[in-house]
Amino acid sequence: MRTPQQIAFIVSQLQLLIVRINEESESLEEDRMDILNSSIQRLVENMTTLHSSRKLYQAEHLQYDFIASNYRNQYGVSINNLPIFMMGEHVERTRTAINADGRRESRRYHFWRLEHPFLNDNDENQVSSYRANHRMGKRAFEHFVNELSAHEEFNLVAPNTIPIYIQVATAFFRLANCHIGYRQAYMLLGVSSGSYNNFTTRTLKAIKDQLGHLLTWPSEPARANAIAVGFGSNTGDRLNGVIGAVDGKNFIIHQPSPPTVGAMFRDRKNNYSVKLTAVCDSVLRFTYIKVGDSGIEELMMLLLSDQVISRVKFFATLTITFLTTRFPEKYLKKWAIESNFVLIVAKSEKDGRLHLRCKCGKACRLVIENPEERKRIRTSIKDDCSFIFNINISKRTQIWTVERPNKATQEHLHNHILSMEMVQLTPEGKRGLLDQNTVKLVTKMIQAGNSIPDIRTVSSKTVTMGYNFSNFTLLSKLPIKK
């Protein structure tokens, strides 16, 4: 039996223990609340950081979309589809071959396996498909790169050599986006103009050497007829199996030298370029390949050729019919002035016509205020021109042709005599004064039978009373010596 003192002591100890337990519980509760509060605070901070990061991500995403949209609007291509994102892995493959003894053996060879993170083989997508960017599917592009990799042009050992698949993809990008110049390509791709040219030259040379056997020309009538039938069929797939056709594509080049030659290669956008035309038939063979000038340049070469100049020896009306309303006025203006013609543009709904009329003709006579002078000039020249030179373009062959005049026996009607009075007339019909030395010089040249361009060239250095002789309009043409 315990004594009352012992029982009281035990009770006091229990009470003290309970007090301590309560104190420790409160302390643990406070610590737990502190930990919980700190955890909640960290969670709030993390949520705030996450929210700000989300806003930053959205801002960066909007900025990326804006940049991509600008690239798409400025360059006409998507920034995701650029060849710089192409990735390649050089793997080993095994194929079975028959040796000289007629036995089968396995041979190892290296093969480029290519991947582009933003391109796929979905041909329905006209933006991010291989065919839309490289004119062929992924598998065909891989085989194409591996076929060209065996060429010596791509056997480069420099440590900083660009992989072949990047070079080929860049060349294809250039052919598909010829509107992009060298500076824009450098800003877009990070490829200098020299590398831009080298990639294209290597690819084209490798294609010519490695795949030259695929380039065929229809030399037999049966073959040409089969091609025509294949392209003209109205049943089924009209161009079944055709890779594609590039018709009159501007191919940007460096400025040729000298500048007098380089000016011939300027296109309507003032870029130096040549035309590349290629057509493939239904059995995947090229039937037509041509590198040349644009249609307007071909027209000017035709107009300035001996074939046309020899026909337009006298004053006549030269009519040119175009398929579009884009007239080469700036090309014809200089030639018209030197050949003593007036350039008149007449537009219609269907097409456009350019008339080169005789300056002595009734429709193009300059207005002269003095009645006596006007009467004297009218009696000294012919009013009408019976010759019409038509230069037409065939829609089927795209060839320019020149028709001969019907009344070739009346050429003398256009053989107007050049007089000194007409030489002194300005384009506005006013008389300009020439000094005695210029008058004597021009008179001698007229008597000698020099042409109008020769007279202009020799006399252009003489300036009297503010008039430059090269700006004068010659109203007649010298007789043509036969």
Both 164 and 285 in one domain: the answer is: no
Both 208 and 278 in one domain: the answer is: no
Distance (Å, whole) CA 220 – CA 285 = 15
Both 323 and 384 in one domain: the answer is: yes
| Within a domain: 144 | yes
User: Helix (H) and strand (E) counts for the chain?
Assistant: 15, 12
Per DSSP (E only), the strands in 281-350 are 286-292, 317-322, 341-347
pLDDT score recorded for residue 334: 57
pLDDT score recorded for residue 454: 64
Question: Which of 409, 436, 471 is the last residue before a domain boundary?
Answer: 409
Question: Which of 258, 275, 293 is the last residue before a domain boundary?
Answer: 293
Q: What is the mean pLDDT of residues 370-392?
A: 51
1: pLDDT strictly greater than 70: no
- Per residue in 313-323, pLDDT (tens digit) is 333 334 444 43
Both 383 and 437 in one domain: the answer is: no
Please return the burial class of 118, using the count of CB atoms within 10 Å of its CB with bins 0-12, 13-18 and 19+: middle
Looking at the whole model, is its pTM more than 0.85?
no
Distance (Å, whole) CA 250 – CA 178 = 6
3-state DSSP call for residue 160?
coil
Distance (Å, whole) CA 183 – CA 191 = 9
| Within a domain: 51 | no
Distance (Å, whole) CA 317 – CA 361 = 9
Distance (Å, whole) CA 465 – CA 445 = 22
Query: Which residue has 């993809």 as its token pair?
Result: 169
Both 209 and 98 in one domain: the answer is: yes
pLDDT score recorded for residue 101: 78
Q: What is the mean pLDDT of residues 78-92?
A: 77
How does residue 20 score in pLDDT terms, banded at 50, 70 and 90?
confident
Question: Which of 383, 409, 435 is the last residue before a domain boundary?
Answer: 409
Q: What share of the chain is helix, strand, coil (3-state, %, to 5)?
A: 50, 20, 35
How does residue 398 score in pLDDT terms, banded at 50, 70 and 90?
very low
pLDDT score recorded for residue 54: 76
Helix or strand (DSSP H, E) at 438: helix 436-448
With beta carbons less than 8 A apart as the criterion, state whether 460 and 469 touch. Answer: yes
- Check residues 161 and 458 and name the one with the higher pLDDT: 161
Proportion of the chain above pLDDT 70, given as a percent: 40
| Within a domain: 28 | no
Both 225 and 177 in one domain: the answer is: no
Both 436 and 452 in one domain: the answer is: yes
Helix or strand (DSSP H, E) at 4: helix 4-75
| Within a domain: 39 | no
How does residue 369 score in pLDDT terms, banded at 50, 70 and 90?
low
Parallel, antiparallel or unpaired: strands 317-322 and 388-393: parallel
Q: What is the mean pLDDT of residues 62-71?
A: 58
Least confident residue range of 14-18, 102-106, 207-211, 386-390: 386-390
Both 98 and 175 in one domain: the answer is: yes
pLDDT score recorded for residue 64: 57
| Within a domain: 99 | yes
pLDDT score recorded for residue 297: 47
Cα radius of gyration rounded to whole Å, the chain: 41
Distance (Å, whole) CA 231 – CA 240 = 9
Both 299 and 368 in one domain: the answer is: yes
**DSSP track, 41-108:** HHHHHHHHHHHHHHHHHHHHHHHHHHHHHHHHHHHSS-GGG-GGG-EEEEEEEEEEEE-TTS-EEEEE
pLDDT score recorded for residue 460: 53
| Per-residue CA distances from 154 to 25, 204, 205 (Å) | 79, 12, 10
- Check residues 163 and 342 and name the one with the higher pLDDT: 163
Both 371 and 460 in one domain: the answer is: no
List 464's β-bridge partners, or say none. Answer: 467
Q: What is the mean pLDDT of residues 460-469?
A: 36
Q: What is the mean pLDDT of residues 110-117?
A: 83
Residue 410: CA count within 13 A, CB half-sphere: 12
300-307 long-range contacts, Cβ below 8 Å, gap at least 24? Answer: 300/328, 300/331, 300/332, 300/335, 302/391, 302/400, 302/402, 303/332, 303/335, 303/391, 304/335, 307/402
How does residue 118 score in pLDDT terms, banded at 50, 70 and 90?
confident
Q: What is the mean pLDDT of residues 105-118?
A: 79
- Per residue in 205-215, pLDDT (tens digit) is 888 888 877 76
End-to-end CA distance of the chain: 162
- Per residue in 242-262, pLDDT (tens digit) is 433 444 566 667 777 776 667
pLDDT score recorded for residue 478: 28
Distance (Å, whole) CA 356 – CA 337 = 10
- Per residue in 293-306, pLDDT (tens digit) is 544 444 444 444 44
Distance (Å, whole) CA 375 – CA 453 = 28
pLDDT score recorded for residue 410: 37
Distance (Å, whole) CA 253 – CA 272 = 6
Q: What is the mean pLDDT of residues 42-50?
A: 80
Both 284 and 381 in one domain: the answer is: no
463: pLDDT strictly greater than 60: no
Q: What is the mean pLDDT of residues 435-442?
A: 66
Q: What is the mean pLDDT of residues 194-223?
A: 78
378: pLDDT strictly greater than 60: no
Query: Which residue has 């860049």 as its token pair?
Result: 170
| Within a domain: 34 | no
- Per residue in 221-238, pLDDT (tens digit) is 676 566 656 655 555 555
Query: What average pLDDT does the structure give for the chain?
Result: 62
User: Which structural domain range is residue 253 located in?
Assistant: 215-231+239-293
Proportion of the chain above pLDDT 90, given as a percent: 0
User: Which segment, 75-84, 154-163, 343-352, 373-382, is predicted with the most confidence on average?
Assistant: 154-163
| Within a domain: 13 | no
pLDDT score recorded for residue 228: 56
- The domain tally of the chain equals 4
| Within a domain: 444 | yes
CB atoms within 10 A of CB 469: 21
How does residue 184 score in pLDDT terms, banded at 50, 70 and 90?
confident
Both 133 and 246 in one domain: the answer is: no
pLDDT score recorded for residue 68: 55
